[in-house]
Amino acid sequence: MRILVTGGTGYIGSHTVLTLLEGGHDVVVVDNLSNSSEESLRRVGELAGRDAAFVKADITDEAALDAIFGEHSPEAVIHFAGLKAVGESVAIPLDYYFNNVAGTIALLRTMQRRDVRTIVFSSSATVYGEHNPTPYIEKMEIGAMNPYGRTKEQIEDILSDLGASDERWHIALLRYFNPVGAHPSGQIGEDPQGIPNNLVPFIAQVAVGRREKLMVFGGDYDTPDGTCQRDFIHVVDLAEGHAAALRYLEGHAGVFRWNLGSGRGTSVLEMVHAFEAAVGAPIPYEIAARRAGDLPAFWADPSAALHDLGWSTTKTVAQMCEDHWRWQKNNPMGYRAP
Ligand code: UD1
């Protein structure tokens, strides 16, 4: 297939583009590079042995999107592009609603006009909010707790309404749990700008000497070791989940929701120790105050994705840490020259 990937230079996007190229698909990436580097795609091309096309454009620019659809005639879209920092979304909500929600509307209007009605959307476990018991199941009532999460929820609603309005749409809403790790080559990986918000990128920067120590946000939760538990998923497994969803959509019209997670909880301290094992050295850390908005523990019920897509995670927490560390060690400053 010819597949248009928005946000394809980013962390999850670049790994998915590689999976698609390896699967024989042709890919055109659209990205505004606001939080990523085209270097990721150059490396993806090297790993795959052939390149994805790249167009620098903003998804809120409907005229630009229209021209790209005209030139590349994609048959399906995988939509990653969006802003994704929870704290920032509280400070600048209009940027989040404009980029994520208005950007998606511009993309969907273009798809409709160009007769492309297959889309896989990057949603998040964050849509489950604070009232659902773990493990999360797709049929639960959703309710995100911050502007970032609400953009994901609103886009899910828009896509659901669109699918209900016209049975020719094929729509997958993929709810990611906590993506970590990197391609085992160590050539592509997560490259956060500034201070990492997320746990594993922070640990990796401590390990490589860019930060002094990790602050563990909360050691007094009602969990086995007092730290929060999350469902970490290797980014290569996650990328495979997109390919599986696309295969499913080829044969099924409608709107489908799938959790992409392992179904297992791992605590913050367990993650620290797994990373220490990968590095072969201690990670300095300190137990600090809880972070506002954090939930004590959640993980996926991944059985729907297994049943419908034949997909499940294959990689262990140890592999996530080894692969993440290989990427960080080989690229201490990410895609920038050290
Ligand atoms: C966060 C977002 C979520 C988003 C996801 C993307 C919040 C509240 N949630 O999920 O909406 O979809 O990232 O991957 O930001 N931790 C530390 N020290 C750190 C960083 C994190 O102890 O320096 C802890 C956190 O308190 C949490 C766990 O590690 O318990 C995981 O944190 P993080 O990687 O930010 O992911 P989530 O909060 O689960």
Tell me, what's the pLDDT at 338? 73
The distance from CA 109 to its chain's CA centroid, rounded to whole angstroms, is: 23
Q: Beta strand pairing status for 2-6 and 26-31?
A: parallel
Q: Map out the domains of the chain as residue ranges.
A: 2-181+231-263
The residue whose C-alpha atom lies closest to atom 29 belonging to ligand 1 is: 199
With b for 16 or more beta-carbon neighbours within 10 A and e for fewer, the 112-143 pattern comes to eeeebbbbbbbbbbbbbbeebebbbbbeeebe
Q: Which residues pair with 288 in a beta bridge?
A: 217
Cα–Cα distances in angstroms (integers) from residue 147 to residues 100, 125, 154, 159, 307, in the given order: 10, 14, 10, 18, 32
The answer, yes or no, to whether any atom of ligand 1 lies below 6 A from the CB of 197, is: yes
Q: What is the DSSP letter of 174?
A: E
- Residue with token string 């964050």: 126
228 in ligand 1 pocket by Cβ < 6 Å?
A: yes
| Per-residue confidence in pLDDT tens, the chain, 338 aa | 999 999 999 999 999 999 999 999 999 999 999 999 999 999 999 999 999 999 999 999 999 999 999 999 999 999 999 999 999 999 999 999 999 999 999 999 999 999 999 999 999 999 999 999 999 999 999 999 999 999 999 999 999 999 999 999 999 999 999 999 999 999 999 999 999 999 999 999 999 999 999 999 999 999 999 999 999 999 999 999 999 999 999 999 999 999 999 999 999 999 999 999 999 999 999 999 999 999 999 999 999 999 999 999 999 999 999 999 999 999 999 999 77
CA distance 184 to 189: 9
CB 216 near ligand 1, within 6 Å: yes
Report the alpha-carbon distance of residue 182 to residue 180 in Å, rounded: 7
Quote the ligand 1 centre to 245 CA distance (angstroms).
26
Picking from 180, 196, 184, the residue whose alpha carbon sits closest to that of residue 84 is 196
Q: Is the CB of 268 under 6 A from ligand 1?
A: yes
* Ligand 1 centroid to residue 146 C-alpha, Å: 13
- 2-181+231-263 has which fold? Rossmann fold (3.40.50)
The catalytic residue among 148, 176, 221, 248 is 148
Length in residues, the chain: 338
Which residue has tokens 């886009």? 155
pLDDT of residue 337: 78
Q: Whose CA is nearest to atom 9 of ligand 1?
A: 86
**Cα dihedral sign, 65-67-72-74:** positive
Is residue 148 among the annotated active site residues?
A: yes
Phi (first) and psi of residue 323, to 5 degrees: -70, -40
Among 80, 152, 178, 260, residue to substitute to test ligand 1 (most atoms within 8 Å of Cβ): 178
